[in-house]
Amino acid sequence: MDLSAEVAARLAAGEAALQRALSEDPHRPTYHFLPVATWMNDPNGLIQWQGQYHLFYQYNPNGLFWGTMHWGHATSPDLVHWTDLPIALAPTPGSPDEDGVFSGCAVDHDGTPTFIYTGVRGEEQLPCIATSEDDLLTWQKHPGNPVIAAPPEGLDTVMFRDHAAWREEDGWYQVIGSGIRDVGGAALLYRSPDLVRWEYVGPLCVGDASRTEPLWTGTMWECPDFFPLGDRHVLVVSVRDEENLLYGASLVGRYQGHAFTPEALGYVDTPGSFYAPQTLLDDQGRRIMLGWLREERSVDAQVASSLAGVMSLPRVLSLSPDGTLLMNPIAELERLRRDHQAYDNLEIVPSGIAALPGAEGECLEIVAEIESHDADRVGLRLRRSPDGEEETLVVYDHGDGALTVDASRSSLSQDAHRGVQSLPFRLKDGELLRLRVYLDRSVIEVFANDRACLTARVYQSRPDSRGIGLFVSGGSITVRRLDLWRMASIWEA
Ligand code: DQQ
């Protein structure tokens, strides 16, 4: 397909107009990517190609519910402003993907963009490939699909899908998400000279479902990603059991001789709203992660709404010298900042509550630096109604060593799940609490001290739930500085 600049500009303008029309829905985010009208889940095939970022994503064009998976396609010059393009991959009747094209990755195979994805036919889920000759717009499936005929012989797998591939000196490698019955989640390693013929190398990493510390790694791993970062390697997996999608987990360790030795295990985000993350390496050398933000309300409410699935903001990953995974929002998001407000040196007394005069809104960025004077609990109140009937709290609990998004009073609607999501987190002696919070209607993304992320979905029922404040218990705090910006819509005309 020849997508001339003029056609592309018209598509982008039409897309933005539709997005603006749908923004009447008070829960619909305005600066997170989501498709116009139907269901979206995992990010797929993240790649930068000729300067443009490409985001493919699990997509159901048939409604606001999961089913008949396709790959949607959006591009961006900056990972902030997106243009949604025609569907990239759809199931082909009578083929190994006739019941769905599940998640996978994109690689540059000597100048040919190539997808590795999971084709679904009945109960079978097997690796397939597709290539593009027109800069990622249309895709030709390989006639030899599936390129791996079955899970490894002799391994009792409970799942076999989702792909991350990379090149080494002796050829291509990929990991496939899996689980070994009665053992735990697994990432299985394969090798290929050409992305078509694959040989099983062995498990890259296997979890232990009988262990729960420091976190339970489930019985299956979906959407594995594996990449070098600093002087180590990181394996990211989406942990689940038979019934539930649980969370993204990161294993940081050493990779040598095709063997991976994890040294540290942690949450990529709180259990709940953020799932199936994938990364790309861009031309600035940044390792950037996007994840699927699931809805946290009843299926009926989703089907009746204008949204079912949102893409997270892009995060840049790095490692601290001690091997801790660090995550920060990409700098390009600052382009959306408008109407700056700043507050300096606010003292809040023990068990105090502070409303921030003039601080309110539904699409905001908040950056706060807070010094605690022996406080037990300290945090932000977000989307607060004037009488406090609705509000969502971001809480640092020093005693419990936890960071929490408490959405239990976020909405009066019975359709909203209103959960409480926590992560282990403790400030070091003398360390300030540094919070960077993105509010985008039903989305809250919190970045804390470069090393913890909490994502939540909240569905306020009151239009006046817009206030922002602070609270403390057990001691006092000094808010050294708090900056707040209204965030522009990425679909603005
Ligand atoms: N979603 C895809 C699968 C993947 C799961 C199907 C994770 O490929 O395992 O939509 O959300």
Closest to 289 measured CA to CA, from 276, 297, 279: 279
Tell me, what's the pLDDT at 352?
73
Indicate whether 87 pLDDT > 80: yes
CA of 440 to the centre of ligand 1 (A): 25
> Residue 408 region, left (φ>0) first, then alpha (ψ -120 to 50), else beta?
alpha
Neighbours of 106 (CB within 10 A): 27
Indicate whether 37 pLDDT > 60: yes
- The tens digit of pLDDT for each residue in 196-235 reads 999 999 999 999 999 999 999 999 999 999 999 999 999 9
- The tens digit of pLDDT for each residue in 122-136 reads 999 999 999 999 989
Indicate if ligand 1 lies below 6 Å from the C-beta of 103: yes
pLDDT category at 29 given cuts 50, 70, 90 is: very high
Indicate if ligand 1 lies below 6 Å from the C-beta of 235: no
pLDDT category at 493 given cuts 50, 70, 90 is: confident
Closest to 427 measured CA to CA, from 354, 346, 371: 371
- Strand 402-406 to 420-424 pairing: antiparallel
Q: Which domains does the chain have, with CATH numbers?
A: 32-329 (2.115.10.20), 337-487 (2.60.120.560)
**2, 25, 42, 156: which is the annotated catalytic residue?**
42
Nearest ligand 1 atom, CA 162: 8
Testing ligand 1's pocket by substitution, the residue of 124, 160, 222 carrying the most ligand atoms inside 8 A of its CB is: 222
- The tens digit of pLDDT for each residue in 140-164 reads 999 999 999 999 999 999 999 999 9
Indicate if ligand 1 lies below 6 Å from the C-beta of 118: yes
Task: Give phi and psi for 333, each to the nearest 5.
Answer: -60, -20
**Mean confidence (pLDDT) of the chain:** 95
The two tokens of residue 467 are 């206030």
- The tens digit of pLDDT for each residue in 50-70 reads 999 999 999 999 999 999 999
Tell me, what's the pLDDT at 53?
98
Closest to 412 measured CA to CA, from 391, 396, 437: 391
The two tokens of residue 444 are 């809250």
CA of 101 to the centre of ligand 1 (A): 9
CA of 489 to the centre of ligand 1 (A): 29
pLDDT category at 1 given cuts 50, 70, 90 is: very low
Indicate whether 46 pLDDT > 70: yes
pTM, 2 dp:
0.96
Tell me, what's the pLDDT at 191?
98
